Structure 1
């Protein structure tokens, strides 16, 4: 399968939001929230042979060089190498923006997402629950 990564446009906000809200149902985003995030982060969609399979967020590096890279692939398209290819492309974006450390965050109930992050070298360093939530988020990083 050929992976194509497309930057978020206004016409694609609905698709990006749908994937986010499906994979992170405990923290759904409104259209306005996605648009706001797109103003400060690098948001993309991934297509495999023309079929929408995932989305990603790259939060630019902070003053201390920490960037966050989050790749989400829909369940029906996992374990085909698409997530790994997507992650490599988004890591390249983070490094091009000057990242010296890469972090990611995964909803603890997303076993596939945690397994993916660990399989790609990420190491857990924190868990937290947002106010009003019951499912923790897991923060991970790539070792230096």
Structure 2
């Protein structure tokens, strides 16, 4: 993983890379470039590359209220899973959450993403809720880190 490069998106090309990973892994909730730009203002986004090849992205949502709950999401394209890239994205997200004073760390995974669910459970997350968003047919799963 010596050629792993993780960075904040610094322009439309990198934002489009983040968008591509998000939309590939979450095909039920496609985001436009404008929506990604808006998210980049509210959340801590990163894009991951192995050399010049796009491999994944992450989102860390800051606490929205006084609960100090931070959401950490790591996404790795299927061809690059099982190589430690998700571990690095997750570790960076967890570090950012702790910098923000998180007392509770959560994640959210589309129920059809079996690799993502397996990864979350392996890292100590437990399911707290399943729900459908309006118009969706695949449930989302909220998970909370049981140990930190």
Query: How high is the TM-score relative to the length of structure 1?
Result: 0.96
Cα distance between partner residues in 2 of 1:9 and 1:98: 25
Q: Equivalent residue for 1:17? A: 19
Q: Which runs of 5+ in 2 are unaligned?
A: none
Structure 2 counterpart of 1:31, from 7, 30, 33: 33
Cα distance between partner residues in 2 of 1:4 and 1:97: 23
Q: Equivalent residue for 1:139? A: 142
Q: Equivalent residue for 1:107? A: 110
Cα distance between partner residues in 2 of 1:61 and 1:49: 33
Structure 1 counterpart of 2:91, from 88, 91, 116: 88
Cα distance between partner residues in 1 of 2:90 and 2:139: 23
Query: How high is the TM-score relative to the length of structure 2?
Result: 0.93
Runs of 4+ that moved beyond 3 A = none
Structure 2 counterpart of 1:120, from 119, 123, 131: 123
The reply on whether 1:5 has 2:6 as its aligned counterpart is: yes
- How well do the aligned residues superpose, as a CA RMSD in angstroms? 1.0
Q: Which runs of 5+ in 1 are unaligned?
A: none
Paired residue secondary structure (1:43):
strand
